[in-house]
Structure 1
Amino acid sequence: MTSIEAHEYYMIEEETLNIYISKVDTTGCTISAAKKIGATKQLISSYINYNLEEIKPRNKYINVHVFARSQSQYLFTKSSKNPKKHVLDDMELLKWWKKVLEQTFTDSNKQNIKKWYYIPGDAVESKARSLIKKDNDNWIYGYPYNNESKVDDVIPKFDDDAKARWLDHLNDNNENDESDNINVKDFWEMVSIGGEFSGGKIAGFFWVNIEGSKSENLKSEGYETTLLENLKKNVGGITFDEQEFIKILQKFFELEFYDDDVALKSSKDWSKIFEDFCAQKGINDGVLEFVVEQPQEIESNDGGGTNLQSNLYKRKPAENNEKVNVLSPSLIKRVKK
């Protein structure tokens, strides 16, 4: 059994879809370790390819963001206690992610693709660079941000992301907006000395940017108007408030997956919970879709329009008191009965 958690952010005016893959986990309950890892690779590849093949025509750009950090469990409660679960160490996980992303985009010859990866900390730079093959490797060691740019202008803040925690820390501890003066180079130096990167720990970041072909007729008559209206109004047809979303998700996290028998029972229990929820909401195809709150546009610090970080987190309060789930439908949307 395997699962991923991903968040999708549509930047309508920029014709951009940003995908942040925040968690990947397995239960360890499988026939062999090889098949388990293969299934996880296939799940990630299928998810990304779905966006490239089905969602891509609606967006000129797709950006995939990954923060790779080794832990014993992320999504399946008590799966770390399963002796059959194989947890990759720090460097194994980085190699695994690089290979998965490499294979996923190998056959994508219709787009202009750029790939970066970066492991904060000078002490691990030689190890990080060793991941690049001498021949036919089109990865760039580094990050897709200019060193002299201000971090608040170019680095997005995602949920459960080391970069976001440092950005929040800077903003909370600089009363006079001194964080506005911190550039990208200084920011990465600060990230490398604490949190997920202290005590000999190694974690890394991956970015893949896909730009649509110049020949794609993205501006055909009526296209932009239709796209804007559809995305602004809804990303589905079912509205969930925050508490309802948390409640249904919490039921999953209360289930346990520490051996085959328990995992099988938990899977059946979750299927029943999910089916009952769908029946309650009148959903026949087992797919949950969300209407999401639209953020207000906030100008960037240099007055040059909006940036990704503003679109994600710097939101003005809604005029009404109704709360809706602002997470993308990617977490549950494509779960089938």
Structure 2
Amino acid sequence: MSASINLRDSLLAALSKLPGVREFHIHVLVSAPRKSSSLYPYAKPRPKAYLHDIVVLCSEQENPDAPRVLVTAIEANVFHIPATSSAVLYVSKVDSTGQSKGKAPTATLVRALLAYYADPATRPVDAEYLWVQLFARAQGQYLFPNSAEFSGKQPLTDAKLCSWWKRVLTQTIADVEARAADKAKAKAFYILPGYDQPEAEDLIRVASATAAPLKTGITWFYTHPYSQEGVPLPCPRDADGENLGTYIPWFDDDPKSRFIDEIALITTTTEGIKSPSKKRARTESHSDVSSSKRPESDKSTRSEKEDKPMGELKKVSVDEFWERMSFRQECVAGAVTGFFSVIFSPASTGNPKGGAARSTVSPLAPQPGQVAPQIIKRVMTSLLTGVEFSTREKAVRSTETVESAIKGLCEGMASAPVSTQPALVKNHSGRKTPERESTPPPALLAPPSTPPRRTGKAAVAEVSPNPFPDPVTSLDTYLSYIYGSAAVSMPVADEGSKPAVAVAPVTVLTARRKKKRGD
């Protein structure tokens, strides 16, 4: 399925409406779809899902003679599940450098990206339902190493970040409903673990007190989205009963993923958690006798046990899962965190694109402009380990390094100009040491990372090879789908240039002085 407008052009159209006199340069990388078993690793059986990665980098240039400097980066993943005609868009990370000389384009780019996938007219995957999901956790930096050291960057606090996301998603819903012309509707959900609804609403209200109120009429539900009627879950339900693994999606570096791993991999007894007992070695004669006398019912019973949900997945309901999430360390560590979900579905039954027939194109077929997943991996490695953004000068050099690497990889250069030196990061003693990852400010807790998936029964089976080869990029692909620029020339009016506003006359009543006797 191909959209009428590509993602790059849609983002440029949104940037062209920003105020200021400057030029934006963006690089949009979308990987070709590939098979994935990571979204629902504990479902029985696991649904067929197809994954592609998205990376958006935006740099800013004050004038034609000024250097470019990166100001915004977005990393996201899209999972397509044909069995339920659903797609899941997970916003992994959004970051800014604080180097923008005008209104930062971060919110504009996020809204345009989400609206592109949510609008049935531009959605590039053949799915009727789109689930937008994200986890909001405040940190000094996400994608730009050492950018927290730059004095011009002002990271949002925990409550303000949750308020920012709720506002951006609300505006996105309004944009989509206005563009879709009654072809799509949306339901919005959010949870701030550890807070009940009045407390959460009060936190959001106080955090957004300085922002202009939104008049969209969008209703938010303070609950999880996995018990809604009329909206199918992305993962098909198990035939043998409830399984928490069919409700909770597994995303990289997400608290939900770590929690469901624990639920699936523990074994509980009446005495508590117990390790599995050691197996006794069988003698050859006993093995022969057992195998010859083992009835067929025993073999079927063993097969049924293998198909049952792992650990406590069948005992923990989805409501209990979210109730227990409020007590997780990542949600009660003193900072406000938030889970946000928006479900876009067709406004009426049938295909949301006007009743057109379902596409017969394979969901694994690369679309024009998509790149090999390895290119995105190399670009992200360059961004996260080879550059830094602690000063204006370093940000300019890092921007040139990253943008040159993207162009070089698209042109098929054997060695793109990517720095191999790790970024210098300040440690707690104040000295700078070469490290792989940036250290967050002392005021913020270090985000926990998802451990490697365990082997054994919990391991996800390898998927079959992709029948389509990775797309080969070229300079034409780079210029037509990946790189683009938009110049804006809308000066921001200062206080002295504002037009005079007629003010109605005001009658001032003055108190009459009471005369004293003898005056």
Do the two structures share a fold, i.e. TM-score over 0.5? yes
Change in 2 beyond 3 A, CA 1:27/1:19: same
The unaligned stretches of length 5 or more in structure 2 are: 1-70, 206-212, 229-240, 268-275, 277-309, 415-457, 471-477, 485-519
Residue of structure 2 equivalent to 1:44: 110
Q: Can you list the C-alpha shifts for 1:13-69, whole angstroms capped at 9, x where unaligned?
A: 22212100011100111225xx12xx1110001101221241168321111101111
User: Are the equivalent residues in 2 in contact too, given 1:70–1:90 (CA < 8 A)?
Assistant: yes
Q: Can you list the C-alpha shifts for 1:74-104, whole angstroms capped at 9, x where unaligned?
A: 0001101111111111110111111111111
> How far apart are the structure 1 equivalents of 2:466 and 2:86?
29
> How far apart are the structure 2 equivalents of 1:58 and 1:213?
16
Residue of structure 1 equivalent to 2:406: 274
Residue of structure 1 equivalent to 2:154: 86
User: Are the equivalent residues in 1 in contact too, given 2:115–2:175 (CA < 8 A)?
Assistant: no
User: Are the equivalent residues in 1 in contact too, given 2:94–2:142 (CA < 8 A)?
Assistant: yes
1:108 aligns with 2:195: no
Residue of structure 2 equivalent to 1:126: 198
Change in 2 beyond 3 A, CA 1:101/1:276: same
1:336 aligns with 2:477: no
Structure 2 counterparts to residues 190-205 of structure 1, below 5 A: 190-205=324-339
Higher strand residue share? 2
Residue of structure 1 equivalent to 2:245: 152
Q: CA deviation at 1:139?
A: 0.8
Structure number, greater radius of gyration: 2
Change in 2 beyond 3 A, CA 1:16/1:80: same
Q: 1:170 aligns with which of 254, 263, 285?
A: 263
The residue matched to 1:71 in structure 2 has which SS?
Answer: coil
> How far apart are the structure 1 equivalents of 2:466 and 2:163?
46
> How far apart are the structure 2 equivalents of 1:68 and 1:159?
14
> How far apart are the structure 2 equivalents of 1:266 and 1:335?
19
Residue of structure 1 equivalent to 2:88: 18
Q: Can you list the C-alpha shifts for 1:141-176, whole angstroms capped at 9, x where unaligned?
A: 111123996421211111221111111122233376
The residue matched to 1:186 in structure 2 has which SS?
Answer: helix
User: Are the equivalent residues in 2 in contact too, given 1:8–1:18 (CA < 8 A)?
Assistant: yes
Q: 2:391 aligns with which of 250, 256, 259?
A: 259
> How far apart are the structure 2 equivalents of 1:15 and 1:281?
39
Residue of structure 2 equivalent to 1:290: none
- What is the RMSD of the two structures over their aligned residues, measured on CA atoms? 3.4
- TM-score (norm. length: structure 1): 0.75
Residue of structure 2 equivalent to 1:180: 314
The residue matched to 1:55 in structure 2 has which SS?
Answer: coil
Q: CA deviation at 1:178?
A: 2.1
Q: CA deviation at 1:237?
A: 7.8
1:224 aligns with 2:359: yes
> How far apart are the structure 2 equivalents of 1:197 and 1:245?
31
> How far apart are the structure 1 equivalents of 2:331 and 2:402?
35
Q: CA deviation at 1:128?
A: 1.0
Percent identity between matched residues is 26
Higher helix residue share? 1
Q: CA deviation at 1:181?
A: 1.1
> How far apart are the structure 1 equivalents of 2:354 and 2:461?
30
1:316 aligns with 2:461: yes
The residue matched to 1:261 in structure 2 has which SS?
Answer: helix
User: Are the equivalent residues in 1 in contact too, given 2:188–2:219 (CA < 8 A)?
Assistant: yes
Residue of structure 2 equivalent to 1:68: 136
- TM-score (norm. length: structure 2): 0.50
> How far apart are the structure 1 equivalents of 2:185 and 2:266?
40
User: Are the equivalent residues in 2 in contact too, given 1:57–1:218 (CA < 8 A)?
Assistant: no
> How far apart are the structure 2 equivalents of 1:319 and 1:142?
37
> How far apart are the structure 1 equivalents of 2:320 and 2:107?
34
Name which of structure 1's ranges 163-172 and 233-242 shifts more when overlaid on structure 2: 233-242
Q: CA deviation at 1:280?
A: 0.8
Q: CA deviation at 1:212?
A: 1.5
Look up the equivalent residue of 1:8 and give its one-letter code.
Answer: V
> How far apart are the structure 1 equivalents of 2:214 and 2:400?
48
> How far apart are the structure 2 equivalents of 1:120 and 1:78?
29
Look up the equivalent residue of 2:193 and give its one-letter code.
Answer: P
Residue of structure 1 equivalent to 2:65: none
Residue of structure 1 equivalent to 2:14: none
Look up the equivalent residue of 1:21 and give its one-letter code.
Answer: V
Residue of structure 2 equivalent to 1:117: 190
User: Are the equivalent residues in 2 in contact too, given 1:69–1:93 (CA < 8 A)?
Assistant: yes
User: Are the equivalent residues in 2 in contact too, given 1:129–1:141 (CA < 8 A)?
Assistant: no
Name which of structure 1's ranges 69-78 and 255-264 shifts more when overlaid on structure 2: 255-264
User: Are the equivalent residues in 2 in contact too, given 1:66–1:206 (CA < 8 A)?
Assistant: yes
User: Are the equivalent residues in 1 in contact too, given 2:224–2:322 (CA < 8 A)?
Assistant: no
Look up the equivalent residue of 1:249 and give its one-letter code.
Answer: M
Number of residue pairs the alignment of both structures matches: 290
User: Are the equivalent residues in 2 in contact too, given 1:56–1:62 (CA < 8 A)?
Assistant: no
